Structure 1
Amino acid sequence: MKKLHPHRVGTALFVLCAMPGLSHALTESEPLDMVYEQAPEPAQRPNGPSAESLRAPQGCTLYLPAIEDARSNQVHAGHLTLMMPTVHATPRSVQSLRSGDAGAWTRDALLSTRRYGLRTVAGAPLSSAAARQATAVVALRLAHAWSAGLNLVSHVVLKASYSLPGGEVATRLYHGMGTRANWASGNGEFMSVLNLGMEEAVRGIAADAAALCEGRPLPAPAAGQ
């Protein structure tokens, strides 16, 4: 029996793994599990800030009276483009990714701000005049993941409406992006990249909540907000 050269064996395995029909991929009827995992792959964003670089002042409490899923499309959370294993990577088909419970996903992500030293409470404050606290109604506006060649990419947008002294309300949008390698187009991989985007957006809320606790004003809203 003729033995295959190791290089040829490796090439054959690569082609088999690259073929979309031979690896587990989500179907349009299988929803993403929408389970939040805190900063699963920080190395994917080498230029991003670390968790240690943000610490809220001692005793700072972030109250979240309401957490809403305000996406215009609550059924889907992205798309997967299936490619033919050819030199030019010809698209074979595109399928939508079904979304699971994004409300619970967003709530768990916001509660993870405790890693920055915040006392985060899913509820309204007893007194709006207490010191070292911030109150925000948060809405998930976008949670989208898609395949881009051999990578997965995500974009998450959160809208936070802060209650300020004097009855004023300040609204800010927080964008988070994530990217990671795509191996099998599986549920866990799409959730991993969505979690990267969510973690980045949530960190922006934590930074502004810490500023409010210290009595500092919120940064000026970005263009378009």
Structure 2
Amino acid sequence: MRPCHEQLAAAAFAALCALPTLSHALTESEPLSMVFEPAPEPAERPNGVPAAPLRLARGCTLYLPAIEDARSNKAYAGNLTVMLPTVHATPRSVQSLRSGDATAWTRGALQSLGRYGLQAVPGAPPASDGGGARQAVADVALRLAHAWSVNLNLVSHVVLKVSYRLPGGATVARQYHGMGTRTNWTSANGEFMSVLNLGLEEAVRGMAIDATALCDGRPLPEPVGAA
């Protein structure tokens, strides 16, 4: 017979492995809430190095004529894989996560640009604008929003495609990728939304840096990996 402390350790390990089966926050018919809530700034971000606070712009207005959900699969936003508590972690089942209103979710995230000193305004700039104002204009499309479970962790990948409208009618496009990770305790709706929000927030942060450059009259840097 094993000592008492070994029995307790084995029981605790078995309970930990079973956590994903204890609470299925979602069913195949229940969508994620898709409500954006920014993470605390700059500390207390789950499973990550705190991001340095950014105050990029002063008096810069970012006009957003178009905000759309351009994902190839708008119905789903990831999956939950339930693993058997075995050495080889055999998948027992895979559950798709239904997506809610991703356009409203993206719009909410863009409103958080105020934390970087940008005023986000839905719609095009006024026709009476005579130029010289500190402003940028961008059309935003959500291209990817995907969350999934990895053992006892949740991971997300979010991609925004942004087309900036430059003076004179030219446009320049950029893609912003954001990743999020956090510990998975009960596979709850709020946990999946939390990790998706971390990914979207990182993508919006990259957008804020480029929008500020345009407000300052500076050219956008070349995309990472460009020839």
Question: What is the TM-score with the length of structure 1 in the denominator?
Answer: 0.90
Residue matched to 2:47: 44
Q: Does the 8 A contact of 1:61 with 1:132 survive in 2?
A: yes
Instruction: Summarize the Cα distance change of 1:36–1:124 in structure 2 as closer, same or farther, 3 Å threshold.
Output: same
Q: Does the 8 A contact of 1:17 with 1:23 survive in 2?
A: no
Which residue among 144, 147, 154 is the counterpart of 2:146? Answer: 144
Aligned residues: 219
What displacement does 1:44 show? 2.5
Instruction: Summarize the Cα distance change of 1:26–1:35 in structure 2 as closer, same or farther, 3 Å threshold.
Output: same
What displacement does 1:39 show? 1.8
Residue matched to 2:14: 15
| AA in 1 matched with 2:77 | A
What pairs up with 1:1-225 in 2 under 5 angstroms? 5=4, 8-9=7-8, 11-19=10-18, 20-39=20-39, 42-46=45-49, 49-50=51-52, 52=53, 54-126=54-126, 127=129, 129-223=131-225
Question: What's the RMSD between the two structures over aligned residues?
Answer: 2.1
What displacement does 1:43 show? 4.5
Identity %: 67
Structure 2 CA distance for aligned equivalents of residues 176 and 60 of structure 1: 23
Q: Does the 8 A contact of 1:67 with 1:139 survive in 2?
A: yes
Instruction: Summarize the Cα distance change of 1:128–1:25 in structure 2 as closer, same or farther, 3 Å threshold.
Output: farther
Q: Does the 8 A contact of 1:16 with 1:22 survive in 2?
A: no
| AA in 2 matched with 1:210 | T
The 10-residue stretch of structure 1 (135-144 or 9-18) with the greater mean CA deviation from structure 2? 9-18
Structure 2 CA distance for aligned equivalents of residues 131 and 26 of structure 1: 47
Structure 2 CA distance for aligned equivalents of residues 81 and 49 of structure 1: 29
Q: Secondary structure at the match of 1:212?
A: helix
Structure 2 CA distance for aligned equivalents of residues 31 and 132 of structure 1: 40
Structure 1: segments with no counterpart, 5+ residues: none
